[in-house]
Amino acid sequence: MDRDVDQLSVATLRTLAMDAVQKARSGHPGTPMALAPVAYVLWQRFLRYDPEEPIWPDRDRFVLSNGHASMLLYALLHLAGVKAVDPDYETLGRLAVELSDIERFRQLDSKCPGHPEYRWTSGVEATTGPLGQGVATSVGLAIGGRWLAARYNRPGLAPFGYDVYALCGDGDLMEGVSEEAASLAGHLRLPNLCWIYDNNRITIEGRTALAFSEDVACRFIALGWSVTRVGDANDLDALSRALEQFRATRDRPTLIVVDSHIAWGAPRKQDTSEAHGEPLGEEEVRATKRRYGWPEDAHFLVPDGVREHFRAGIGARGARLRGEWERMFASYRASHPDLAAEIERMQRRELPEGWDRGLPAFSPDAKGVATRDASGKVASAVAANVPWLLGGAADLAPSTKTRLTVDGAGDLEADTPGGRNLHFGIREHAMGAVTNGLSLAKLRPFEATFLVFSDYMRPALRLSALMELPIIAIFTHDSIGLGEDGPTHQPVEHLASLRAIPGLVTIRPADANEVVEAWRVVMQRRYGPVALVLTRQAVPVLDRTRYASAAGLARGAYVLADAPGGRPELLLLATGSEVHLALAAGETLAARGVRVRVVSMPSFELFEQQPPEYRASVLPPEVKARVAVEQASTFGWDRYVGSAGAVVGMRTFGASAPLKALQTRFGFTPDAIVSTASALLARGEG
């Protein structure tokens, strides 16, 4: 083993990070300087990863959870020669990270943004930055790997066996989401998961002792993890022994505690909070390079032999392992063609033929069906045709109706890693991040809880949208309609909050058949998350021979019932359980001679994606008298009702009472809607 080239490579990682942050006058140099030896040992000696094929399905996954140390990852991607991959999963000839990208760190359109971004920089396995999210996401990647192995591996032919490594810091382990995720990982005894904890004892405000004094190792032992320690981050051999111990531990996840010095080698900035989030300064950079034995005036220097060393290490090892895998998979395809076809479809986020075979159709029913119940039936029907659809709830599957009942679905537990019903426990935040990890493993996951608890999931859901992951978030108990549980459980502002997330499609179906169409939309999306917002209470199943087809849901809004000749003077817009109230109000108004159009508007986002001509055909600009009805905050409806319209919605929190009493109190009755519409028309808003 060539110690000189090892140290030269580590110093290259450190100096590239220092130079990039200094040139950008922005960034976090200290952690890359501290962790360069750790990352080097992992990538050069252990990682099953081929830089030439960075989307090889059985590659090990490396997640930089302390994403502020992004320059460490970019330097690794550059030195290892990781190739770029386009959205069609084709490997391009150029590097994922050129040296010029590093020189333009944190600048517009550089492949080296401030924090790692999935789908922007090839080789980045997950978008990280908000602390705790990366490690929690890594749990989903590990669960996904175990699931894939359970379903697809056969004796002598094992397409899946990858490990997941997450590099994290003090901030990650202070955030509650990491505790939730670590608890779940310990419960599931994930042997393919390794967190490497950078114990540098520094945060932005100063020493971690200001707010953090727990024994992390003991905490993780209590959570069911194997824990080992490396006393010096610069000890490459000790790091290797710790990683070998992880590989030998096959009955639980592993935490490696690494004691490090932030900004190692910087004469004045080592072990200081200043080194965390600001450039070292030109003089400190020069002084640090002197300590490294590095040319002081060299910038972005990659010495001769370093790239070649990486090619001879991770490059050669990765090429050999991938070649062995490809030969194995050719035999696998010959022996198990159907399973091989599943794997290939899944990797490209494609659906199997006949995926929508057997979807239920619901007959008209005045008494109705809760949309959560309809969704449960549809999900199980889809799951029968899409074997990699799986998911669960935050201890609420009986209430959210999200337990898959398809034959053989089973429970995903430590001893049954191939089950399709996950039990996340009461861990909504981790559930969101774990679901992201499952999607990054190319499974098709769903998650479920009450809509009011989407607040606990928002950081992870926001990252779902940033990464364009096609996760399915199922939120039930969607309004004050849940009744007696009262305002603590009755969502008011939550629909507006979800609609505010760019890239997230929110769908609130009006009846059981709109639920079927919602699932059609959901399943055909290859990119971007969807939130299905569903009722606890029964809502009428509309007679589609009398009203427009539920297929209109795919366009976000559609004319459900119209005035004679399609020339309305009043528009009634509604979503979800309020659509049948709008229909009833429309009938009353029509009987009084008002030309009424009732519009079901389950998804603002899908509607905004339609051509202007279609949107104008549903909401004619000349019709100013408009009333929107939704048991939620009125925020956001002004774009559709305009200054002349009105919204029957919630302007306070709810109350604890039976449904009918709440509807009367807050104005969600046909009579109240008629009154609001009549007042508009009386003012001449037509």
Comparing CA positions, the residue from 136, 134, 138 lying closest to residue 146 is 138
Using the structure block, give the residue that is written with the tokens 């981790």. 430
Q: How far, in Å, CA of 192 to CA of 353, rounded?
A: 32
Yes or no: say if 160 and 148 are a contact pair by the CB < 8 Å rule.
yes
Neighbours of 389 (CB within 10 A): 23
How many CB atoms are located within 10 Å of the residue 247 CB?
13
Which two structure tokens, joined as six digits, stand for 192? Answer: 């393919």
Q: Which of 53, 175, 179, 428 is catalytic?
A: 428
Check if the beta carbon of residue 506 is closer than 8 Å to that of residue 472: no
| Six-digit token string for 184 | 């779940």
Question: 537 in helix, strand or coil?
Answer: coil
CB of 305 closer than 8 Å to CB of 7:
no
Contact 83, 93 (CB under 8 A): yes
- What CA–CA distance (Å, rounded) separates 626 from 536? 28
Residue 360 DSSP SS3: coil
| Nearest CA among 580, 43, 190, 198 for reference residue 364 | 580
Distance CA 422, CA 403 (A): 9
- Nearest partner of 473 among 525, 510, 513, 512, judged by Cα: 525
Which residues does 289 contact at the CB level (< 8 Å), separation at least 6?
15, 18, 295, 296, 298
CA-based angle 635:640:645, to the nearest 5?
A: 85
- Which pair of tokens denotes residue 446? 């769903």
CB 556 within 8 A of CB 604: yes
The CA-atom distances, in angstroms, between 50 and each of 39, 311, 361, 376, 552 are 16, 10, 47, 41, 46
Is residue 428 part of the annotated active site? The answer reads yes
- Residue 444 contacts by C-beta under 8 Å, 6 or more apart in sequence? 346, 386, 388, 389, 390, 470, 472, 523
Between strands 202-203 and 206-207, the pairing is: antiparallel
Backbone φ/ψ region at 95: left (φ over 0), alpha (ψ -120 to 50), beta: beta
Strands 389-393 and 421-423: parallel
Nearest-angstrom CA–CA distance, 83 and 112: 14
The 8-class DSSP code of residue 160 comes to -
What does the DSSP assignment read for 637-668? THHHHTTT-EEEEESS---SS-HHHHHHHHT-
Q: What is the DSSP letter of 154?
A: B
Residue 544: closest CA among 553, 535, 536: 553
Judge contact between 118 and 96, C-beta under 8 A: no
Among 180, 142, 183, residue whose Cα is nearest residue 163: 142
Tokens matching residue 550: 């539920």
Q: Are 632 and 491 in contact (CB under 8 A)?
A: yes
Read off the amino acid at residue 66.
Answer: N
Active site residue ranges: 428
